């Protein structure tokens, strides 16, 4: 895999985090808050929409292929 960034890469443009893990924590909190109060079905729908929105944002099919392979690795039987 050449293109996919797998190391922590969270942040805000032009801002240096106080601690390396802080932006990742901030994202986790936003993600949890997004799901708060949703049913399981609605939460799955939000996740599906989020995947499609972020995939569209990335746009590069090679990077998306790497991401899909990395996400699938070790889960279930190989396709």
3-class SS string, 29-70: HHHHHHHCCCCHHHHHHHHHHHHHHHHHHHCCHHHHHHHHHH
Question: Is residue 11 in some structural domain?
Answer: no
Question: Is residue 46 in some structural domain?
Answer: yes
pLDDT tens digits for range 23-33: 678 888 999 99
Q: Structural domain of residue 50, as residue ranges?
A: 39-79
Question: Is residue 20 in some structural domain?
Answer: no
Q: Under a CB-based contact definition with an 8 Å cutoff, are residues 69 and 3 in contact?
A: no
- Answer whether 0.75 is exceeded by the pTM: no
pLDDT tens digits for range 1-16: 568 887 776 777 676 6
Neighbouring residues of 67: CB distance < 8 A, sequence distance ≥ 6: 4, 58
């Amino acid at each position: 895999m050449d293109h996919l960034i797998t190391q922590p890469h969270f942040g805000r443009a032009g801002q240096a985090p106080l601690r390396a893990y802080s932006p990742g924590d901030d994202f986790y909190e936003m993600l949890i808050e997004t799901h708060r109060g949703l049913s399981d079905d609605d939460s799955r729908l939000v996740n599906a929409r989020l995947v499609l929105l972020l995939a569209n944002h990335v746009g590069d099919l090679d990077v998306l292929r790497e991401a899909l392979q990395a996400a699938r690795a070790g889960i279930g039987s190989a396709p």
